[in-house]
Amino acid sequence: MGTIGSAQGWVLLVLGVAALVMEIYALVDAVTHRTDAYPAAGKRTKNFWVILLVVAVALGFVSVFNVIGGFVGLLAVVAAGVYLADVRPALRQVTGKGGQRQGPYGPW
């Protein structure tokens, strides 16, 4: 059982580091957008998202080393995931950074 437990530990460490990288990426992206782009995209303010993602990065960092429970790390990943899946595309569309994806019959 020692080998299986060790393998599980390594998998959890890799997943935790990957989640932390995602959270840091979301934070950096949130900081780089203009303040007025958030309300223009119909989203909460830049300060809200930056503070939320700073907390997510802090919780993600702590949860990588299993200092706190995995549920808190999951909340951090969800916050970063919501930003990356919902807020970031809206911001990119408003600021013109999104670029139109063209398929064979028009935009996707």
Higher-confidence position of 30 and 102: 30
Look at phi and psi of residue 38 and say left if phi exceeds 0, alpha if psi is from -120 to 50, else beta: alpha
Span 99-108, pLDDT tens digits: 566 556 655 5
pLDDT in tens, 33-88: 999 999 999 999 999 999 999 999 999 998 887 766 678 888 999 999 999 999 99
Which residue pairs, CB below 8 angstroms and at least 24 apart, start in 76-80? Answer: 76/19, 76/23, 77/19, 77/22, 77/23, 79/23, 79/26, 79/52, 79/53, 79/55, 80/19, 80/22, 80/23, 80/25, 80/26, 80/27, 80/53, 80/56
State the pLDDT confidence band at 13, using cuts at 50, 70 and 90.
Answer: confident
Q: What is the pLDDT of residue 29?
A: 97
